[in-house]
Chains A and B, each alone.
Chain A
């Protein structure tokens, strides 16, 4: 199915381990986003990319890095995981034009850091 694909769906890490969350979209969207969802705090923007080759910090970028190497893929990296990064992570992509505005979310990655 076309859409936004996130991998993995579940991950358990030990404190200090690193990992990369992958996100890919096949809809030729320009903008892509990474959010984390925590109970009582809603969705908070970690990083976003308005177009291929550009990235910008969101509300909570500390402890994360991102990479937008091509239009399809936008990865999120945790260099040294901490228990505070236990969360559900959502990737999203968006296309906008004078006549159209669409946003799609991936199904999420549940990450636990022990």
Chain B
């Protein structure tokens, strides 16, 4: 079945460091890919998305490129801030068919000042 695998957490970085959170997926067809963020005590918020191969999603300094050849959608940010501390979820959905929205297990990110 369709699945999403994220890099193991937790991840701890210093402020202004470069961030990469790896995400790979398994799916038939052509899914849309998402990154969601969950700040402490809150629900999930859409961070960025990409709906077809080679699309780049971006928001708040975060970027991710839909790579069909490697089935990946890695999240990157050039200079993280303390306020980026949160749990990040990679997810996929197929527009056709069952329309199940499948999430990875989440990666907890902590940024130290």
A residues with a Cβ closer than 8 A to B are 31, 33, 35, 40-45, 48, 50, 56, 58, 90, 92, 94, 96, 101-103, 105-108
Contacts of B100 in A (CB 8 A): 45, 48, 56, 58
Distance in Å: Cβ of A89 to nearest Cβ of chain B: 11
* A contact face: mostly helix, strand, loop, or mixed: strand
B residues with a Cβ closer than 8 A to A are 6, 32, 34, 36, 42-46, 49, 51, 89, 91, 93, 95, 98-106
- How many A-B contacts are there with CB distance less than 8 Å? 55
Among B46, B95, B105, contact of A96 (Cβ-Cβ < 8 Å): B95
* B contact face: mostly helix, strand, loop, or mixed: strand
A92 to B32, CA, bound (A): 17
B49 adjacent to A35 (CB under 8 Å): no
